[in-house]
Chain A
Amino acid sequence: MSRMRTPEETKEAMHEVVAEMYDRIVKGEPPTMTLPVRTKNNIGFDKKLGVYKYGKKQSIRDATSLGSAKQLLRALHVVEFIEEMLDAGKSSTLREMYYIAEAWGMGKFGSQNDSNNLAEDLEIVTKCLREDFKLRPEEDGARMIGNLTLRERNRRGEWMRINARDDVGDSGYGVPYNVELEKIELLEHDIDFIMAIETGGMFDRLIENGFDEDYRCGLLHLKGQPARSTRRIMKRMSEEWDLPVVVFLDGDPWSFRIFASIAYGAIKTAHISEYLATPSATYLGITADDILAYDLPSDDLSKKDIEALNAELTDPRFADSWWQEQINMMLELGKKAEQQSLAKYGLDFVTETYLPEKLAELGLA
């Protein structure tokens, strides 16, 4: 699946979707588009791939309601638009497509979210990637710092060798939206593990304290829910360099979800989980028991937090006993804590005490 397709292959795959609609009309039936159900009820663990993928549940989007019919029409416009880009050798961002769609009359999108979802729908039914469609995400990738070296092909088509410690400033190496082989090659490294960090504040704290050098690791700033390219490059580094990945997040239900999308695959992108997820990633903290063990300043769980935790209890990705215990413990505590709450014990506490202790548990320090 991670293989890029030729424009012809992509077109052919898209034509199958169009033909489903066309043939139904010819038969005197409402046109339809068949796609897997994209909820937590339809994801299952794929033993072969080690990640969560969509199950067999299909939903048929048929043109018997105005909303669905408009979705079908939009899909056709998107197909046409992608064909035009493939023919012209151009690409566009999802956001650009959203604005271009303003001219599609009845087929225009209600919101940016609509157009993003539709692009994903098409990926799923055609089994293509949006890179095949020449659609780029707007979201920027992560920042990375550490003694690792890669090669990136720049706008002029020249390969540039970059060391993410020596060749970058304090903000680190910016991960581009496309991290596939034709754009990025991983060359060499001198680190023992990769640490993914949720907040920019914490990422900068670790850099300032020299944590990457002291503990021989690569630091990656996730910027909240990580973009596809962030997850993809983590996956590549973990596989190609055989490096452990630890994930350091806030201690709240949303962080649990971020971890699940990194390690097991996100529900929205379960069709390409094997391509984005890093099954070997480990959740370092903040855990529910850290809140107690380190007596961290905490906030009460909001109603939404509690709903999210309860939803996670029935999410197949959190079905194992460690996660069930963590989630239940957080519900019982009724508390959540931010990464920065460690600063209660001073600015160096995180790098001198907390992380060494947590990493020691994993045998990484």
Chain B
Amino acid sequence: MAGIAQKLASNQKQVAISEFFEKNKHFLGFDSLARSLITAVKEAVDNALDACEEARILPTIRIQITKLDSKKDIIKLVVEDNGPGIPQKSIEKVFGQLLFGSRFHAIRQSRGQQGIGITGVVMYCQLTTGRTTHVRSKIATEPTAAFVDIGLDTRKNKATKSNAGREIWYNEDGTGKEHGTEVTAQMKAKYQKGRQSVWQYLRMTSIVNPHAEIIFIDPEGEKHHWTRVTERLPTKVESIKPHPHGIELGQLQRMVAESKDLNLNHFLLNNFSGVTNRARKELCQAAELEGTRKIKSVKGDDIRALLEAFQGERLFNASPVKLLKPPTNCLSPIEELLIKKGLSKTIDSRFVTTLTRVPNVTQGNPFQVEVGLIFGGGMPGDKPVEILRFANRVPLMYQQGGCLLTKAIESVDWRQYGLDQAGGKGVPKGPAAILVHLASTNVQFTSEAKEALADNAEVMEEARKAMLEMGRGLRKHLEKKKKMAKTKEKFELINDILPAIAEKSAQILKRPVPELSGSITKIMSAVISESSTEWNKETKQIDVEIVLFNYTTRVRAYTLLATWPEKSGAVMENNDTGGRKEALGVWAWKLESLQPGGKTTISFSLSGLERGDWTETEVLFRGSQDVIGATKMDEKFLEEIRRQEQILTESGIASPEDEAEQDKTITEPTEQKTEVVEEKVEPAVAPPDGQRTLFGGDV
């Protein structure tokens, strides 16, 4: 399915812009006054984030919305960033030309797969208020900022510019701004609060862009500030060539037509990912085409044959041609720790679990699913959980019910994990928010409105698996919380209530206060572990303390184990009790003789982490008598850790050049392909001239 972009590009000239806008405003995100404002903010913020990411700048974005005329719903929007800025001669192109820039052509994960970009906002402003959009931008190498008013000539479908000039750009504090861009637009729009609002959009954006600082001043003058929680920019993504499994006829025709390759062999090797020299030969044979054929002579049925070979419909040696998986370095997941930080800063809660699945491939497109769950805190317990959906770091705010990501959440029986859910189906209820992020080079939406993800079995399966794993984490947390509450009660009993009973009864009877140790042992009759994991502001470390009490009448011996974030690069310090490494992220201490009524304290600090990175230490034990507050060590759990550790070290060595190795490993998904995939074939390139809208539909 070709995006709006291609269709727009090919048909641009036929339709007047105002007509185009009127006909397609629901696709473009301008169908209601409230949504228009969100779309405008979204386009500007996306541009800012993309520009900063490309220039490796930590973004600071300031958004201000002012009501100019409440009766006529005229709103002023100002979005300012600290991005690299736009050279003067390019401003006009960026803001006044449809589809400027390269992001529509490269195959990689990018934000700008939605809408028609900032130009759409300029158009909308022009059409609803007749006003031009004021742009000011400064690049670091020039001393002054360029400014210009951009409008659109609706008859000529061309950008107009006026009042261009240069000035010194001062910050609020009087210092000179180094670089950045500021857009000031006036439009007919409505500011709303709630689930579908500018506020919610920015909040969600801040969750998945933890490296960004976002400041929003709403029409009432209230300042909302989402701070930057990491200095780490998203990994720079590589663009990749299309994979034969993900190609459609129209696209292949276009590629052939535009090819400057000498012959078919070169064409196959130069323009696709996953095609090795062996695969190249086999594809040619399967398609019954000579590899040495001049590319100019490849036409019509030849292209169709090639596509069939790509898709495994034409066979080589009675089986589909085996292709390498596309590389996955074109994806930029947010990653577990950063999702955790993003969620924690916007929602106050005690428990957050996040999970980034390993990349997978569907129809030749690499994708990766990430999920996060935040539980408890001030969230209401009797309402459906909040669902936060994202595609390539862009918040999806509409059509929640029809979205694949929502369906993945609904397909899980959350009751077993401690959330309410009528009949084990649908959106669960409880004090929680669930985040799902799909990173992909080709996000498939249900419609051009691009608000809900289309069904896809592989993506669904990945998302479901991630949910289940996260659910298990939640259940564990809740069980632990229950246990801890019980233990806490027991301690309150022996530390506070029992001494008070002894004292008060002695006082009433006028007798001496009795000794308590006998009663305490009888009341507890258990070995109890208490642990705390606290951020130490002064040392910038996380202090962990584990105390083991023996409230039994006998001497006890245990091996105590604790989990710690070794994988995340934490360093264990001040571990005076010694012990040894049991496995990756598991430390063990042998406690030989714990006297009746006695206690042992283990403490250590973790450095190399930030606040909130590690909030819960799991305490495990080996030994015959149960320990309240700790989990008996399941040796299978250790095995699993060791296995993961092995995979991790192995994957570190593996190199992408090692073709022969990888060739063997990808046979399976290739075979599945032929059965499952049935792609719609689109008409070749652009339709001939005629009365068509920019989207190819009849007028």
- The interface of chain A, by Cβ under 8 A from chain B, is 15, 18-19, 21-22, 24-31, 63-66, 69-70, 72-73, 76-77, 79-80, 83, 106-107
Name the interface size band of chain B.
Answer: 20 to 34
Provide the bound-state CA to CA distance between A348 and B493, in Å. Answer: 63
Q: Does B497 sit at the interface, judged by CB under 8 A? A: yes
Partner of A30, one of B506, B514, B522: B522
Q: Any chain A CB within 8 A of the CB of B509? A: yes
Q: Find out whether the CB atom of A22 lies under 8 angstroms from the CB atom of B497.
A: no
A83 in contact with B508 (CB, 8 Å): yes
Q: Is B493 a contact partner of A66 (Cβ separation < 8 A)?
A: yes
Determine whether the beta carbon of A80 is less than 8 Å from that of B519: no
Instruction: State whether A18 and B493 are in contact (beta carbons under 8 Å apart), knowing that A25-B516, A29-B518 are contacts in the complex.
Output: no
CA distance A42 to B514 in the complex (A): 35
Query: B508 contacts A25, CB within 8 Å?
Result: no
A351 and B509 alpha carbons, distance in the complex (Å) = 60
Chain A residues within an 8 Å CB radius of B507: 80
- Does B498 sit at the interface, judged by CB under 8 A? yes
Question: B511 contacts which chain A residues (CB < 8 A)?
Answer: 22
Q: Which residue of chain B lies nearest to A67 when distances are taken between CB atoms in the complex?
A: B489
C-alpha spacing A66/B524, complex, angstroms: 11
Which B residues lie within 8 Å of A70 (CB)?
497
CB-CB nearest 3 A-B residue pairs: A28-B518, A66-B489, A76-B504
Shortest CB distance A21–B (Å): 5
B contacts, CB < 8 Å to A: 489-490, 492-493, 496-498, 500-502, 504-509, 511, 514-519, 521-523
Rounded to whole Å, the gap between the CB of A159 and the closest CB of chain B is 38
* Interface Cβ pair total, 8 Å cutoff: 84
Q: Report A24 CB to chain B, min CB distance, Å.
A: 7
In the bound assembly, the distance between CA atoms of A18 and B515 in angstroms comes to 16
CA distance A69 to B519 in the complex (A): 12
Q: How far is the CA of A83 from the CA of B509 in the complex (A)?
A: 12
| Contacting residue for B523 out of A63, A77, A80, CB 8 A | A63
Given A63-B523, A66-B489, A66-B490, are A21 and B501 neighbors across the interface (CB < 8 Å)?
yes
Q: List 24 A-B contacts (CB under 8 A).
A: A15-B508, A18-B509, A21-B501, A21-B505, A22-B502, A25-B501, A25-B514, A25-B518, A27-B518, A28-B522, A29-B518, A30-B523, A31-B498, A31-B501, A63-B493, A63-B501, A65-B493, A70-B497, A76-B504, A76-B505, A76-B508, A77-B504, A79-B508, A106-B497
Of all chain B residues, the one with the shortest Cβ separation from A69 is B497
Contacting residues, chain A, for B519 (C-beta < 8 A): 24-25, 28-31, 63
Q: From A15, which residue of chain B is reached at the shortest CB distance? A: B509
Starting from the known contacts A18-B509, A65-B489, A77-B504, 5 additional A-B residue pairs (CB-CB under 8 Å) come to A28-B518, A63-B519, A66-B492, A69-B497, A106-B496
Are A73 and B497 in contact, CB atoms less than 8 angstroms apart? Answer: yes
Q: Tell me the nearest residue of chain B to A72, going by C-beta.
A: B501
The reply to whether A22 and B492 form a contact with Cβ atoms under 8 Å apart is no
Given A15-B509, A18-B509, verify A25-B523 contact (CB < 8 Å): no
Tell me whether A31 and B490 are in contact (CB under 8 A).
no
Question: A15-B509, A63-B493, A66-B490 are known contacts. Are A73 and B501 too (CB-CB below 8 A)?
Answer: yes
Chain B residues with CB below 8 A from A27, complex form: 518
Give the Cβ gap from A81 to chain B, nearest Cβ, in Å: 11
* Interface contact B522-A29, CB-CB below 8 Å: yes
Q: Which of A70, A77, A83 has the most CB of B within 10 A?
A: A70
Q: What residues of chain B lie closer than 8 Å to A29, measured between beta carbons?
A: 518-519, 522
Most buried by A among B489, B492, B505: B505
- The reply to whether B509 and A63 contact each other, CB–CB distance below 8 Å, is no
| Contact partners of B500 in chain A: CB under 8 A | 73, 106-107
